[in-house]
Amino acid sequence: MGLSMKQMALLTTFFGVLSFICGVIAENKKPAAGTPIPGKGVVICKYPSDPTVVLGYISVAGLIISTVIGYMSVFYPYNKRAIPYGALFRSKTMLVFFNIAWLTAGLAAALLLWPTITEQFHLSRTVHYDMNYSCPTAKTGLIGGGAFVSLDSCLFWLICLMLTDNAREDYFEETDEAMKGGQSQVINVDNPLGTYGFKDTTLA
């Protein structure tokens, strides 16, 4: 049993919203800085326990899954009927939103990954030989910004899905009409009877 367009839209939305929520929570839970503890020639950073790194990676995973499903939803053969690439991107609007969806997904991934990896790096390296080290954390605002861009990417994929629905309706409507026209011509040519179904008995 294949997936319907509504199911594809729900899956794309679910993982897009999951990415957004996890990114926003990760941003809010991220500490501004750690506490430097001076020692003998070293500074040991003590960071409060927070789920920033875990939530950041979950947000990235949600973004990736949402993007993959959004991409698949555009080319998926609903009702076992596929549409040619040229017919799908006949509309410039579809082409523009498709590219924007990819660009926003890439930007969101960069904004989410960079601070998440940086935060993990800070938390894993707590001993520093610079006595003036202030125990910073990842740059504030990047994860939150990435979360909003991730949500934007999800919305653009949904717009692409709606445009795909329109393109499919137009394409199959034209195809069905062409097939009916062809069948009608074949019937008229091959009909051994007259126009009204009676055999022509007119003598030459």
pLDDT tens by residue, the chain, 204 residues: 578 889 999 999 999 999 999 999 999 999 888 888 888 888 888 888 888 999 999 999 999 999 999 999 999 988 888 888 888 888 899 999 999 999 999 999 999 999 999 999 988 888 888 888 888 888 889 999 999 999 999 999 999 999 999 888 888 887 767 666 555 444 444 444 444 344 444 443
DSSP 172-191: HHHHHHHHHHHHHHHHHHH-
In a domain, 53, yes or no: yes
81 part of a folded domain: yes
Would you state the pLDDT for residue 181?
59
- pLDDT for 80 equals 85
Total of domains in the chain: 1
Q: For residue 144, give every residue at least 6 positions away whose Cβ sits within 8 Å of its Cβ, in sequence order, or none.
A: 23, 24, 27, 28
How far apart CA 133 and CA 20 sit, in angstroms, is 33
In a domain, 201, yes or no: no
Residue-range definition of the domain harbouring residue 99:
5-168
Residue 198 lies in a domain: no
d(CA 99, CA 177): 32
**Residue 89 domain flag:** yes
Residue 35 covered by a domain: yes
Cα 138 to Cα 51: distance, rounded to the nearest angstrom:
13
Q: What is the pLDDT of residue 173?
A: 81
Do the domain assignments include residue 33? yes
Q: What pTM did the predictor assign? A: 0.81
Are 37 and 45 within 8 A, CB to CB? yes
Residue 54 lies in a domain: yes
